[in-house]
Amino acid sequence: MEKLRQADRDILLWIQNNFRNRYATVFWKIMTALGNLGIFWFAVCAVMWFMPQYKRTAETALASLAASAVIISLVLKPIFHRVRPYDTHEVLIPLIPHPKDLSFPSGHTAASFSCAVVFMLRVPAPAGILFLVIAALIAFSRIYLGVHYPTDVAAGAGVGILCAVCCAWLIPV
Q: How many residues does the chain have?
A: 173
For residue 164, give the 3-state DSSP assignment.
helix
pLDDT of residue 40: 96
* Domain count for the chain: 1
Q: Domain range holding 139?
A: 2-170
CATH number for the domain harbouring residue 30: 1.10.606.20
Cis peptide before 105 (omega within 30 of 0): yes
- Please state, in angstroms and as integers, the Cα–Cα distance from residue 147 to each residue in 44, 84, 153, following that order: 25, 6, 10
Query: Which residues, 6+ apart, have CB-to-CB distance to 42 below 8 Å?
Result: 62, 65
Confidence at residue 173, expressed as pLDDT on a 0 to 100 scale: 85
pLDDT tens figures, 129-146? 999 999 999 999 999 999
Q: Indicate whether 1 pLDDT > 90.
A: no
Banded model confidence at residue 45, pLDDT cuts 50, 70, 90: very high
**Residue 121 pLDDT > 90:** yes
CB 102 within 8 A of CB 77: yes
